[in-house]
Amino acid sequence: EPEVTQTPSHQVTQMGQEVILRCVPISNHLYFYWYRQILGQKVEFLVSFYNNEISEKSEIFDDQFSVERPDGSNFTLKIRSTKLEDSAMYFCASARTSGRDEQYFGPGTRLTVT
């Protein structure tokens, strides 16, 4: 069964540095998402992406964040000038269709900002 994959599994970075989190969605899926989960808290939506553009974003997704689909398989989340409070598990998800369809989650990247 195809799965969403994410790299790296764990990223440690210093405050102020830029990080890029990578995801490979399921190949025939059209909708891509980033969520984050601060330790012990709920999963929070960051952004959705469809047809090579952002379709929806949350208040969390400010100018510090950007997403890109640089080729036909990868989907990346860039976090510029990281802050301590960016430390969280970041999940990528993909879906065949929007809204009323299952989103398949990747295993997550644990980002630790020191």
Structure tokens at 41: 């808290």
Considering the complex, what minimum distance in angstroms separates the CB of residue 75 from other proteins?
Answer: 14
Transcribe 11-75 into DSSP letters: EEE-TT--EEEEEE--TT--EEEEEEE-TTS-EEEEEEEETTEEEEE-TT--TTEEEE--SSS-E
Considering the complex, what minimum distance in angstroms separates the CB of residue 64 from other proteins?
Answer: 19
By beta-carbon proximity to other proteins, the closer residue of 66 and 107 is 107
By beta-carbon proximity to other proteins, the closer residue of 65 and 104 is 104
97: exposed, middle or buried (Cβ count in 10 Å: 0-12, 13-18, 19+): exposed
By beta-carbon proximity to other proteins, the closer residue of 14 and 42 is 42
Considering the complex, what minimum distance in angstroms separates the CB of residue 18 from other proteins?
Answer: 25
